[in-house]
Amino acid sequence: MTREQHGTVPQPGTRVARGEGLRLFAAAIMIMIGMFHLIAGFAAVLRGSYFVVSENYFLVIDVAVWGWGHLVLGIIVVATGAALFAERPWAYVSGIVIVGLSALGNFMFLPYQPLWAVLIIAVDVAVVWALAMRLRELSVGD
């Protein structure tokens, strides 16, 4: 339910206002992360020679396979971020799971783009934190 349906608008600094900020932050960052996954996926599929792979990494997979994985993950992350903007209740828990998978996928992407993967993992952790805090606020009650 939206604030307008309740007939009240929360004052700045209240629990509801902070929670809404966390939801909006997570939704916006998820859409951005999804777009980054799409860009990395297209780069890997269309121009796999762009990525240089270390041969001493425990997980060696074809770059095109990683590209398709990033494309699929990017679409899912963008869709879940859009669902958070639309205030869908299922998007909180599924967002945590999907962003966790994003972090795991980027961990395995470390030999291809180490700095980029670490940056996206850090942003994924921030999104998980924001979603978990919002879920806690919702369980305690607005």
- Specify if 77 maps to a domain: yes
Q: Does the residue 82 lie in any domain?
A: yes
User: Quick check: is 117 in a domain?
Assistant: yes
Q: Is 5 inside a domain boundary?
A: no
Least confident of 1-10, 39-48, 70-79, 94-103: 1-10
Look at the chain and report how many structural domains it folds into. Answer: 1
For the whole prediction, is pTM greater than 0.85?
A: no
Band of pLDDT at residue 117, cut at 50, 70 and 90: confident
pLDDT digits (tens, 9 = 90+) for 13-54: 555 556 688 889 999 999 999 999 899 888 888 876 666 666
Task: Write down the pLDDT at residue 67.
Answer: 83
Per the structure, the complete domain to which residue 88 belongs is given by 18-49+61-140
Q: What is the mean pLDDT of the chain?
A: 81
Encoded tokens for 36: 């980054």
Alpha helices in the chain (DSSP H): 3-6, 15-46, 63-85, 90-108, 114-140
pLDDT band of residue 100 (cuts 50, 70, 90) is: very high
Helix (H, G, I), strand (E, B) or coil at 60: coil
